[in-house]
Amino acid sequence: MSDHDAEPEQAHERDETALLAERRAKLERQRERGLDPFPAAFEGRETIERVRSAHERLADGEETDESYRVAGRVMARRGHGKAAFIDLRDGTGAIQLHSRADVVGADGHDQLLHDVDLGDFIGVEGVAFSSRRGELSLRVESWTPLAKSLRPMPDKHAGLADVETRFRRRELDLIANPEVLERFKLRARAIAEIRSWLDAHAFVEVETPVLQPLYGGALAQPFTTHHNALDRDLYLRIATELYLKRCVVGGIDRVYELGKDFRNEGVSPKHNPEFTMLEWYEAYADYADAAERLERLVSTVASKVLGTTEVERDGNTIELAPPWRRLTMRDALLEATGVDLAAEPSRDDLAAALGIEATDELGWGKLVDMLLSKRVEPDLVQPTFILDYPVELSPFAKRHRSTTGVVERWEAFVGGIEIANAFSELNDPDEQRRRFDQQAEELRRGDAEAQPHDESFLRALEQGMPPTAGVGLGIDRLVMILTGAPSLREVLLFPAMR
């Protein structure tokens, strides 16, 4: 809490052209005084967080003789005449500055009041003290401009409320809404903890091609681009799966990649055409092992970055600690819709349960997937593994050891959102070839998301791949769960916009 209420800013009500001209005039005045408005560095800087932590126990009104050099953006200014308060913020926190004409000098104080605008970056040297109200402050002894802000700040009372502007001008969102900045810092910490956990469990991080001669590893439409020098079309990857399994063939028993995938699909609260995915593969493991790894990973990351395994979402308290619920797809659909997959319902039966018509491009497997998404997924609030998917939906998964017609696959759901997908990976090259043939038939039927035939991958499998479990974890969706964000766009710095 600052000592004085900030004076209302009227910048948003004034003509923007006049404001820009006014700020540029101040910029020129700084140059005329021999100041560099955009210097290359500010040496000896301490972070504001460091200054605050050094004086946590300072009593109200207590003085010190400790001087600091801090730098940041001017966020607010209060007071006129011979004394003023300024709020300064860097990437670690905020601190109050107290400028007095008898300390910083009449000229320096006047310039700080009249030539520095909200949004400007300045460097300050000052002595720490606590105000009578207990606000840690620096008494300014000297200051220098670091970067002139030529455009006005978002209104500090209304904030940056317009959603479209927040996503299109994310830099303004980060300036105006500190909680948004904290959300992206949490995202970065979560990714760091994921890497740390995998590294600690002997997984090797690799990088595979983003530009691929043939897309694969998921049922999705790719983005196509053209390589001029090679005079050939290439695809932005839709998954890293097939290359990572080739690494397992080559002897990397535990391998992972954390990076961008691209799918040419719609934009929604749960979908963005460019997204961050973690995939890992573990030799000599199956999908049951993978489920245990995922629930341990997610709960550990939550505990590290949040200090708890409980998260709040849509009024529900979600417990991320293991064990998570396990439910077969057959039982989930039977419970929610009355449709029994073991009775081999027809396409018309599935379409009727969805309330739609069974058109040619909607194959049996796609209708089952739609039924799960619409009638089951929204109710999976507590962490749940849906197990044992139809083979038609899973061209890279092993057939189930004890149940016919399904494969050893699960998807993990939290808060009504799918966050991960896993298989006991198919390692029989002849069966994989038959699955590719089945997918080719789906392509001929008009399913643009079917998996194309990949002879290079088949040749790799023919070298021999040990029993392997593979997992794909959506990082953006996981961060949605950890932060309680209502939409994927809230956890992507620069989401796709219409």
> For 97-117, what is each residue's pLDDT tens digit?
999 999 999 999 999 999 999
> Model-level pTM?
0.90
The length of the chain is 498
Question: Residue 449: what are its φ and ψ, rounded to 5°?
Answer: -95, 0
253 lies in the same domain as 131: no
Contact 433, 395 (CB under 8 A): no
Alpha carbons 208 and 197: distance in angstroms, whole number: 21
Contact 152, 11 (CB under 8 A): yes
56 lies in the same domain as 134: yes
304-321: average pLDDT: 97
Q: What is the pLDDT of residue 2?
A: 46
Choice between 193 and 5, residue whose per-residue pLDDT is larger: 193
Domains in the chain, number: 2
pLDDT, one tens digit per residue, over 387-428 is 999 988 888 999 999 999 999 999 999 999 999 999 999 999
31 lies in the same domain as 129: yes
Task: Evaluate if residue 87 carries a pLDDT over 60.
Answer: yes
141 lies in the same domain as 192: no
Confidence of residue 270 (pLDDT cuts 50, 70, 90): confident
50 lies in the same domain as 100: yes
Question: Residue 338: what are its φ and ψ, rounded to 5°?
Answer: 85, -5
Q: What is the DSSP letter of 324?
A: P
The residue range of the domain holding 89 is: 11-158
Sign of CA dihedral 283, 289, 291, 292: negative
Q: Supply the CATH number for residue 66's domain.
A: 2.40.50.140
389 located within any domain: yes
Q: What is the pLDDT of residue 3?
A: 45
Neighbours of 32 (CB within 10 A): 8
Contact 351, 369 (CB under 8 A): no
105 lies in the same domain as 191: no
- Domain end residue (candidates: 158, 185, 207): 158
309 located within any domain: yes
192 located within any domain: yes
Q: Which of 136, 108, 135, 107 shows the shortest CA–CA distance to 123?
A: 108
Contact 424, 466 (CB under 8 A): no
Amino acid making up residue 197: W
Q: What is the pLDDT of residue 5?
A: 42
347 located within any domain: no
Task: Evaluate if residue 158 carries a pLDDT over 80.
Answer: no
130 lies in the same domain as 185: no
- Domain end residue (candidates: 130, 158, 186): 158
Choice between 159 and 438, residue whose per-residue pLDDT is larger: 438
Contact 455, 440 (CB under 8 A): no
pLDDT, one tens digit per residue, over 25-83 is 999 999 999 999 999 999 999 999 999 999 999 999 999 999 999 999 999 999 878 89
Q: What is the pLDDT of residue 159?
A: 55
CA R_g for the chain: 29
Task: Evaluate if residue 450 carries a pLDDT over 90.
Answer: no
150 lies in the same domain as 256: no
Q: What is the DSSP letter of 240?
A: S
144 lies in the same domain as 200: no
24 located within any domain: yes
Task: Evaluate if residue 89 carries a pLDDT over 50.
Answer: yes
Task: Evaluate if residue 432 carries a pLDDT over 80.
Answer: yes
Q: Supply the CATH number for residue 403's domain.
A: 3.30.930.10
Q: Is 166 exposed, middle or buried (0-12, 13-18, 19+ CB in 10 A)?
A: buried
| Residue whose tokens read 């101040």 | 26
298 lies in the same domain as 445: yes
- Domain end residue (candidates: 101, 126, 158): 158
340 located within any domain: no
Q: What is the pLDDT of residue 70?
A: 98
351 located within any domain: no
pLDDT, one tens digit per residue, over 338-365 is 999 999 999 999 999 999 988 877 888 8
Q: What is the pLDDT of residue 414?
A: 98
Contact 478, 383 (CB under 8 A): no
107 lies in the same domain as 190: no
- Lowest model confidence (mean pLDDT) among 36-45, 133-142, 423-432, 436-445: 436-445
Contact 49, 93 (CB under 8 A): yes
357 located within any domain: no
Partner residues linked to 9 by β-bridges:
none
80 lies in the same domain as 186: no
Contact 387, 409 (CB under 8 A): yes
